[in-house]
Structure 1
Amino acid sequence: MLRGSTGLIGVVNFITFLGSIPILAGGIWLGSRANNTDCLRFLQWPIIIIGLTIFVVSLMGFAGACYRISWLLRLYLFVMFFVIVALVGFIIFAYSVTDRGHGQVIMDRGYYEYQLSDYSGWLKDRVSDPNYWAKISACLHDAGACKGMAQGMRDPVTGMRVPESVATFNQRHLSPIESGCCKPPTSCGFTYVNETYWTPGAGTVGYADPDCTKWNNDQQLLCYQCDSCKAGVLASIRHSWRKVSVINVVVLIVLVIVYVVGCAAFRNSRKIENDEPFGVNRMTKARPSRIQF
């Protein structure tokens, strides 16, 4: 019975060990997306820390079950409780800071437009901070966030790249970063030359948008200082965090079930441990009566 209880705890901890893998994978996935979250490393670390904690705690519980170390199992259950609380808090936080903000549909466009005014809260304040945005925009440039914009064909005679037509460009499905940082807002009414080169129109339509004056055809600048670029980063973060949050919710459900089963198994093993001395004494007392004459 005792071995069965500790064995159950061992199996339970193996499950939690497996549960830590998708959390770690989610954090690494966020960090591998060089076009946005690599420039926002503070967003991936909470996920990685939670995943590593579950990983270590699972090994702790597994070792305690295999070697029947009661204090280690007790510590495991204690720490696991706080891991579950932390994971619940992180899920609530992730949903609360990404509850607002959607791309705006533009007529005759295959991509969405993004505006900073559609976002609010801690995440917007963090990204919009001038000192922090200077680092983010520099990182986006160094990561080549706009390199994928150039998708024209090569001229068979000259071998030079021919930009795609404006009609083809308008139907492209751009990422939030590409839409916000690599081209001027559609409302500015700029004339398309190529994917990352636009000239001001004859009128002043849309110039009430401050981003229209921030756009620069210098390939080192583009719209990296535009509010639309900040909104594009926020939209990309929102999309990524919502995906990771789905994984975290599933893992949370598994951890709660595992924790309840682990508590029951540990309580059962402690009860059996406490009953064993009585059984042993009773047997030792019974043996002499069999050999007396």
Structure 2
Amino acid sequence: MARLSHGLLGALNLVTLLLSLPMLCAGVYFRMRAATECERALQVPVIALGCALLLLSLVGLAGACGRRPAAAPFLWAYVVAVFLLVVAVFAFTVFAFEVTNRGAGSAVSGRGYREYRLGDYSGWLQARIAEPETWRRVESCLAEARVCGQLDGAVGQGAMDFYRQHLSPVQSGCCKPPTRCGFRYVNATFWETPRSGMSPEVAGVGGDCRAWSNDQQVLCFECDACKAGMLATVKKKWKAVWVVNVALLAVLVLLYTLGCCALRSNAGSRYYNGGGA
């Protein structure tokens, strides 16, 4: 049993070590070649995860493959680190499920796209996206990615052709005015205010109708609908992360179990060699 637990622990940590090296190298490579600050920021978690996985794998290999008396501190450090990771990943998984459990796009009659309202999402996500510094960085990323520039090809389309498009949540919220504002479609990048003007009730709905601008650098980036579209995208990404976290949690529990078995076998062998048997 002792050899089996040590062998499995060493094999699994060798696999994680081999996985961490390309992850770390890819993170550094893409960070150095990133064209924008947003792209560089996306590589930071990959590099951090690669470094943590590399360090944890080395400690696990030292504990599993080293000589029994000298390997005990490495095994203890490994088991404690994996236990803390299990707790952290479990807490984050529950938290991610809770904050992304609310919010969904609303279907609009005669439209191929959905529209999004900020109030439909969890209060925590609303507070984070509404922070001025956070939203300033998001706006910068949207401008650098030319999210709305991808609609340039639809400039010559008629209104009905445009309405049938399946826009992304960000495009729906940030690149056009909300349907309830009653703006008249001219083309994909230009909308006219209703000739009768906006009623006070419509103009006051979240301020989105007044925030819209035909300036291509402004559009609806200051609208609550734009923030809601961004949260819809974040929610979709976090759902994928939630699934990955569940799989990661299962692997960490297996590693923790093997580490505990290796520690028990070490303690048993010391007891036997000391004459306790």
Length-normalised TM-score, structure 2: 0.82
**Which residue number in structure 2 is paired with residue 93 of structure 1?**
95
Q: Give the 4+ runs in structure 1 shifted more than 6 A.
A: 18-21, 43-48
**Which residue number in structure 1 is paired with residue 128 of structure 2?**
126
**Which residue number in structure 1 is paired with residue 110 of structure 2?**
108
**Which residue number in structure 1 is paired with residue 257 of structure 2?**
260
Q: Displacement of 1:227 after TM fit?
A: 0.7
Counterparts in 2 of 1:46-57, with a 5 A limit?
49=48, 52-57=51-56
**Which residue number in structure 2 is paired with residue 13 of structure 1?**
13
Please state whether the residue corresponding to 1:164 is helix, strand or coil: coil
**Which residue number in structure 2 is paired with residue 184 of structure 1?**
177
* Contact 2:85–2:252 (8 Å) recurs in 1: no
Q: 1:260 to 1:16 in 2, by over 3 A?
A: farther
Unaligned runs of 5+ in 2: none
Q: Displacement of 1:272 after TM fit?
A: 2.2
State the number of aligned residues: 261
**Which residue number in structure 1 is paired with residue 193 of structure 2?**
200
Q: 1:208 to 1:177 in 2, by over 3 A?
A: same
Q: Structure 1 residues 208-217 or 181-190, which shifts more?
A: 208-217
**Which residue number in structure 2 is paired with residue 150 of structure 1?**
152
Measure the CA separation in 2 of the matches of 1:198 and 1:59.
59
Please state whether the residue corresponding to 2:185 is helix, strand or coil: strand
Measure the CA separation in 1 of the matches of 2:194 and 2:259.
68
Counterparts in 2 of 1:24-39, with a 5 A limit?
38=38
Identity %: 43
* Contact 2:64–2:262 (8 Å) recurs in 1: no
Alignment RMSD (CA, Å): 3.3
Given residue 11 of structure 2, which amino acid in structure 1 is its aligned partner? V
Please state whether the residue corresponding to 1:238 is helix, strand or coil: helix
Length-normalised TM-score, structure 1: 0.77
Measure the CA separation in 2 of the matches of 1:128 and 1:39.
22
Query: Deviation digits for residues 50-98 of structure 1, max 9, x if unmatched?
Result: 6643442122101221223121111101111001111111112212222
Unaligned runs of 5+ in 1: 153-161, 280-293
**Which residue number in structure 1 is paired with residue 168 of structure 2?**
175
**Which residue number in structure 2 is paired with residue 227 of structure 1?**
224
* Contact 2:78–2:259 (8 Å) recurs in 1: no
Measure the CA separation in 1 of the matches of 2:115 and 2:128.
21
Given residue 207 of structure 1, which amino acid in structure 2 is its aligned partner? A
Q: Displacement of 1:220 after TM fit?
A: 0.8
* Contact 1:2–1:273 (8 Å) recurs in 2: no
Q: Displacement of 1:140 after TM fit?
A: 1.6
Please state whether the residue corresponding to 1:90 is helix, strand or coil: helix
* Contact 1:9–1:65 (8 Å) recurs in 2: yes
Measure the CA separation in 2 of the matches of 1:189 and 1:40.
39
